């Protein structure tokens, strides 16, 4: 972009346009994953919808690469790109909770902890991810799995309406009644269809929950994972628990005798009255005494932000993921083998249950094509030191390669790195062609392509041939 172009764009914005020579450029170009080192041409810190429209028009008219950044958490760093104009929504943080309609209108730059703070004030929640620092934009457009999935479904199952700036610069609503094809595509199709400047969510009762981590020594992993598999597949839907391999951090409040010990365990989150939740988890406590049991009543935002301080921005992250239908004994043995080999103290593996409310929606009702998988698995190598990049990447890949034959085929888009078209197609399966057709309608020139990209379907060219006068077939 030339200086004249940048000046012209800035003159149309209320927010700041940050250029490579600016002091803030280094922080503005960074995303959560420290492995991502992209240098955009400019970052537009949009202040309002008009700024977003100005940026979309400017990028399209000047044929610029356009990236959109919500919370910046994407594993593959898809909120930024080399040489791009970045629409940074992080200054658009309005949240309006309607206690009568039981809805929350949330701007595209909000983080989950900001939404939880606003909705918890009336004892309600939007079901979403397990970290407070994740962006509402990316997580919702990809699906939104977390502590409330078994009870209330994915974030997209609670989305009522989205306000969207399209590739042609128009500003539209998408809901069950307005642009329903766009609304369908937004519920899992990622940032392919436009910039979602606000989301209207249905709220669900979840002020206080009964939950927290319950950990066991990794030597007991086979037994714990087998018990967990059998329990969660039949547990009441108010009981959510994701299985994890992890290493206990070496500082308070973690008990000293567990510091830096490799563990396995489950992070529980039950909605409803505490006594009922405690009773529902009695089989867990009867099964085995845990090395650490921090499961009890707490406000949902306390659980949602519990792990935030352990994973500050800027660490190196490498992810591999799959959906899983069946956790066979053989697959459990492989998990135990690789869980024992976690290369660094922050590396982890999570299995998030999908069975429950999310599975009662048909695969074709939204693009999210693995409604009947039982888990979304994610293997994540993490470390602050770039020198360990290879170690965390190799561990994640080797673990994934051995488990992949036991998977359902595709992966949850929000847990994928930049892995190419084949993996994207595997993820959307039968829904891919419909997504491609909707992409062709709303973004035919693929302006929004810094994402898990769905290529616009080729437009069918229908040519009508007029019959020459006097020539008739007999
Ligand atoms: C620590 C951590 C914990 C996580 N936990 C969970 C979890 O519990 N559950 C879960 O489901 N996922 C989880 N994720 C994955 C997360 O859903 C994805 O990383 C998601 O892409 C993050 O969204 P974001 O807005 O922060 O990211 P960004 O990097 O800003 O954006 C991601 C993608 O979405 C697009 N996008 C973002 N906002 C908009 C918008 N408003 N309009 C159009 N396009 C947009 C971007 O262009 C980009 O392609 C976690 C990730 C991390 C790093």
pLDDT digits (tens, 9 = 90+) for 435-457: 999 999 999 999 999 999 999 99
Cα atoms found within 13 Å of the Cα of residue 82, Cβ hemisphere only = 3
Q: State which ligand 1 atom lies nearest to the alpha carbon of 68.
A: 47
- Give the count of beta carbons closer than 10 Å to the beta carbon of residue 25: 16
403 within 8 A of 377, measured Cβ to Cβ: yes
Beta strands 124-125 and 204-205, pairing class: antiparallel
Cβ(135) – ligand 1 distance below 6 Å: yes
Cβ(107) – ligand 1 distance below 6 Å: no
Query: What pLDDT, on a 0 to 100 scale, did the predictor assign at position 253?
Result: 95
Give the span between the Cα atoms of 138 and 355, in whole angstroms.
22
Matching residue, tokens 């000046």:
7
29 within 8 A of 68, measured Cβ to Cβ: no
Q: Whose CA is nearest to atom 17 of ligand 1?
A: 139
Tell me the CA–centroid distance for residue 71 and ligand 1, in Å: 6
Query: What pLDDT, on a 0 to 100 scale, did the predictor assign at position 365?
Result: 97
Query: What pLDDT, on a 0 to 100 scale, did the predictor assign at position 418?
Result: 87
Cα atoms found within 13 Å of the Cα of residue 454, Cβ hemisphere only = 33
Cβ(246) – ligand 1 distance below 6 Å: no
Ligand 1 pocket check: which of 67, 73, 84 to mutate, most ligand atoms within 8 Å of Cβ? Answer: 73
Cβ(32) – ligand 1 distance below 6 Å: yes
Question: What order of strands is seen across the sheet that includes strand 42-45?
Answer: 16-18, 42-45, 85-88, 66-69
In the chain, the N- to C-terminal Cα span, in Å, equals: 63
Q: State which ligand 1 atom lies nearest to the alpha carbon of 448.
A: 47
Cβ(189) – ligand 1 distance below 6 Å: no
Cβ(49) – ligand 1 distance below 6 Å: no
Give the span between the Cα atoms of 45 and 14, in whole angstroms.
9
Cα atoms found within 13 Å of the Cα of residue 318, Cβ hemisphere only = 22
Cβ(359) – ligand 1 distance below 6 Å: no
DSSP tally for the chain: helices H, then strands E: 15, 19
Cβ(332) – ligand 1 distance below 6 Å: no
Beta strands 85-88 and 42-45, pairing class: parallel
What residues does 247 pair with on adjacent strands? 262
43 within 8 A of 29, measured Cβ to Cβ: yes
Q: State which ligand 1 atom lies nearest to the alpha carbon of 450.
A: 49
Query: What pLDDT, on a 0 to 100 scale, did the predictor assign at position 464?
Result: 53
Cβ(142) – ligand 1 distance below 6 Å: yes
Ligand 1 pocket check: which of 89, 139, 197, 350 to mutate, most ligand atoms within 8 Å of Cβ? Answer: 139
- Provide the token pair at 358: 């999310």
- Provide the token pair at 179: 């642009």
Q: pLDDT, tens digit, for every residue of 127-146?
A: 999 999 999 999 999 999 99
| The model's pTM | 0.95
Tell me the CA–centroid distance for residue 191 and ligand 1, in Å: 10
Give the span between the Cα atoms of 78 and 81, in whole angstroms.
7
412 within 8 A of 323, measured Cβ to Cβ: yes
Query: What pLDDT, on a 0 to 100 scale, did the predictor assign at position 461?
Result: 52
Q: State which ligand 1 atom lies nearest to the alpha carbon of 311.
A: 1
Q: Which residues in 62-185 belong to E strands, given as ranges?
A: 66-69, 85-88, 95-98, 103-107, 124-125, 159-165, 171-175
Q: State which ligand 1 atom lies nearest to the alpha carbon of 376.
A: 11
Tell me the CA–centroid distance for residue 136 and ligand 1, in Å: 7
Query: What pLDDT, on a 0 to 100 scale, did the predictor assign at position 471?
Result: 43
> Cα–chain-centroid distance for residue 316?
18
146 within 8 A of 125, measured Cβ to Cβ: no
Q: Whose CA is nearest to atom 4 of ligand 1?
A: 131
Beta strands 204-205 and 195-202, pairing class: unpaired
Cβ(195) – ligand 1 distance below 6 Å: yes
DSSP string covering 216-257:
EEGGGHHHHHHHHHHHHTTS-TTEEEEEEEEE--SSTTS-GG
Matching residue, tokens 């949009």:
46
Tell me the CA–centroid distance for residue 87 and ligand 1, in Å: 15
CB-based burial label for 134 (10 Å; 0-12, 13-18, 19+): buried
Ligand 1 pocket check: which of 126, 135, 193 to mutate, most ligand atoms within 8 Å of Cβ? Answer: 135
Tell me the CA–centroid distance for residue 305 and ligand 1, in Å: 16
- Which parts of the chain sit beneath pLDDT 50? 466-474
| CA triple 125-174-100, angle to 5 deg | 40
Query: What pLDDT, on a 0 to 100 scale, did the predictor assign at position 462?
Result: 52
Tell me the CA–centroid distance for residue 51 and ligand 1, in Å: 22
What residues does 69 pair with on adjacent strands? 88
Helices (H), 63-135: 112-120
Check residue 418 and report its DSSP letter: S
Cβ(69) – ligand 1 distance below 6 Å: yes
Residue 141: which of 104, 190, 180 has the closest Cα? 190
């Amino acid at each position: 972009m030339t200086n004249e172009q940048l000046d012209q764009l800035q003159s149309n914005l209320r927010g700041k346009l940050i250029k490579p020579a600016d002091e803030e450029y280094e922080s503005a170009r960074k995303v959560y994953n420290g492995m991502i080192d992209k240098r955009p041409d400019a970052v537009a810190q949009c202040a309002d919808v008009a700024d977003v429209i100005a940026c979309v028009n400017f990028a399209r008219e000047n044929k610029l690469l356009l990236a959109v950044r919500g919370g910046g958490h994407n594993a593959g760093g898809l909120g930024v790109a080399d040489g791009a104009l970045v629409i940074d929504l992080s200054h658009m943080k309005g949240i309006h909770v309607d206690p009568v309609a039981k809805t929350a209108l949330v701007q595209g730059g909000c983080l989950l902890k900001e939404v939880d703070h606003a909705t918890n004030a009336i004892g309600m929640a939007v079901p979403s991810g397990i970290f407070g620092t994740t962006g509402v934009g990316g997580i919702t457009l990809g699906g939104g799995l977390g502590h409330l999935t078994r009870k209330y479904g994915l974030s997209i199952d609670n989305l009522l309406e989205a306000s969207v700036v399209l590739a042609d610069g128009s500003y539209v609503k998408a809901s069950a009644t307005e642009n329903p094809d766009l609304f369908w595509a937004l519920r899992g199709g990622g940032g392919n269809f436009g910039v979602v400047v606000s989301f209207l969510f249905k709220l669900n009762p979840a002020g206080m929950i009964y939950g927290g981590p319950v950990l066991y020594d990794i030597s007991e992993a086979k037994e714990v994972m087998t018990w967990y598999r059998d329990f969660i597949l039949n547990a009441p839907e108010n009981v959510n628990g994701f299985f994890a391999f992890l290493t206990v951090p070496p500082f308070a409040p973690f008990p000293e005798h567990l510091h830096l010990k490799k563990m396995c365990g489950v992070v529980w989150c039950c909605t409803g009255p505490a006594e009922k939740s405690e009773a529902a988890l009695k089989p867990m406590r009867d099964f085995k005494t845990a090395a650490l049991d921090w499961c009890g009543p707490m406000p949902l935002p306390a659980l949602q932000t519990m792990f935030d301080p352990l994973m500050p921005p800027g660490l190196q992250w490498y992810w591999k993921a799959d959906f899983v239908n069946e956790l066979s004994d053989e697959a459990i043995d492989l998990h135990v083998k690789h869980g024992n080999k976690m290369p660094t103290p922050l590396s982890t593996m999570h299995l998030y249950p999908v069975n429950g409310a999310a599975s009662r929606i048909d695969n074709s009702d939204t693009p999210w094509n693995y409604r009947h998988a039982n888990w979304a698995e994610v293997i994540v190598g993490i470390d602050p030191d770039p020198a360990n990049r290879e170690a965390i990447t190799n561990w994640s890949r080797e673990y994934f390669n051995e488990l992949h034959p036991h998977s359902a085929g595709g992966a949850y888009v929000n847990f994928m790195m930049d892995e190419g078209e084949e993996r994207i197609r595997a993820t959307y399966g039968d829904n891919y062609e419909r997504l491609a057709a909707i992409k062709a309608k709303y973004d035919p020139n693929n302006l929004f392509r810094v994402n898990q990209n769905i290529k616009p379907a080729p437009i069918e060219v229908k040519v009508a041939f007029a019959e020459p006068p006097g020539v008739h077939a007999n």
